[in-house]
Structure 1
Amino acid sequence: MSSTLDNPFFARLWTVMAAHETEAIRRLRRENLAGLSGRVLEVGAGTGTNFAFYPDTVTEVVAVEPEVRLAEHAVTAAAAAPVPVTVRTETIEHFTASGGEQFDAVVCSLVLCSVGDPQDVARQLFSLLRPGGQLRYLEHIAGTGGRARLQRIADATVWPRLFGNCHTHRHTERSLADAGFMLAAARREWTLPRWLPVPVAEFAIGRAVRPS
């Protein structure tokens, strides 16, 4: 597996989408970062959309973005961020913390749907957190009923190819729990009307804590 990604079509698409996010999604991004402090690892930073929302109690953000074109945008966003942000261009699977140091928090925003093996990544993130540290997540999540069927069809056809390996029908919270995290304050949020036949209208937002 390469330590970087080169997906020009998705990079162009995501850059446009990130610049036109709805206020509902931006509100969830702010909520997902509220109250963080100390050193933070952000996984899949994209164009750096989150950077402006970090509270000043955060002392450092190490942001991992393996898609080289998106990382260029993230570097620009980092320069204007209210907290110190360092952008690293590697996949989370290849990430190693400097000196083996652990983080106070990990942030995952619309990224665990796209990693190759969610269980392995969840275990890796668990090891990168200090005991008592939090993983804050805002993710696409597996639905039920007709929407679940739609998600499975999307995942088996064109959706991952168009959207950077995004898989809409993933049981992300189950993967986190299996890795040893304790889930807290988890809930679902709809960002589009429920009747719209799209596989990513519903999001999961919550905290996953590494027990002390």
Structure 2
Amino acid sequence: MTTTVHHPLFARLWVAMSSHETDHLRRLRAENLAGLSGRVLEIGAGAGTNFEFYPDTVTEVVAIEPEAHLVEHARRAAAQASVPVSVTEKTGEALADDPAGSQPFDAVVCSLVLCTVLDPEGVVRQAFSHLRPGGELRYLEHVASDGGLGRIQRAADATVWPRLFGNCHTHRDTESVIRAAGFEVSTARRTWTLPKWVPLPVSEFAIGRATRPA
């Protein structure tokens, strides 16, 4: 089982992008984490951009991130967070053999990560297995679009995009994967982070909450 990844050029690009996120994307991050409480598992912490948005009702965040350069930045962000955050270098797939904790979590958070993992179905199943019954998956992911943008996404995924952007795949039907893992999606909506006419394949996002049935 691969437990780390090595994308140093993309990691440096991601750090730069994370430090200049738009107000709209920052509001989406805050919305995605609003109302959380208890113990939280964050899969794919990146540079730790989410950490400042966790409400003080969260008692612990266990964050995993497989890229060494991003782990360094995430740990610095964790030190500045208002809630306790620990960061471990590991992939979402590795949770199957190396659990993030002996006790189930109250929530799992996935933000801009399910596009990059090698096995999205497996990672979402791990998110399900690490949750207590009634616990929530909070997700904020760019997703497969329809029409012309969807065709651009498929072309991007088949050519250079994953190699340039840390294995990012732009045309994944992430919400179908979440439902197939056994989650019940309670709220979900789509939003655009760029105007619809901009042909960038990561313009359309899905934000939602899904529950492990009790």
TM-score range for the pair, normalised by the shorter chain length: over 0.9
Map 1:78-157; keep pairs closer than 5 Å. 78-95=78-95, 96-97=98-99, 100-157=102-159
The answer as to whether partners of 2:59 and 2:84 remain within 8 angstroms in 1 is yes
Instruction: Provide the TM-score with structure 1 as the length reference.
Output: 0.98
The answer as to whether partners of 2:62 and 2:100 remain within 8 angstroms in 1 is no
Aligned to 2:63: 63
String of CA shifts for 1:47-106, please: whole Å, max 9, x gaps. 100000000000000000110000000000000000000000011111233553110000
Which residue type is aligned with residue 39 of structure 1? R
Aligned to 1:43: 43
1:57 and 1:18 map into 2 onto residues whose CA distance is 25
2:94 and 2:26 map into 1 onto residues whose CA distance is 29
Displacement of 1:113 in angstroms is: 0.6
1:17 and 1:132 map into 2 onto residues whose CA distance is 35
Map 1:180-191; keep pairs closer than 5 Å. 180-191=182-193
Aligned to 1:163: 165
1:70 and 1:166 map into 2 onto residues whose CA distance is 16
What is the count of residue pairs matched by the alignment? Answer: 212
String of CA shifts for 1:16-35, please: whole Å, max 9, x gaps. 11011111100000000000
Aligned to 1:17: 17
2:146 and 2:85 map into 1 onto residues whose CA distance is 38
Where in structure 2 are there 5+ consecutive unaligned residues? none
Aligned to 1:199: 201
String of CA shifts for 1:158-189, please: whole Å, max 9, x gaps. 11111111101001000010000001110001
String of CA shifts for 1:125-176, please: whole Å, max 9, x gaps. 1101000000000001110011110000010111111111110100100001
Range 143-152 or range 87-96, more displaced? 87-96
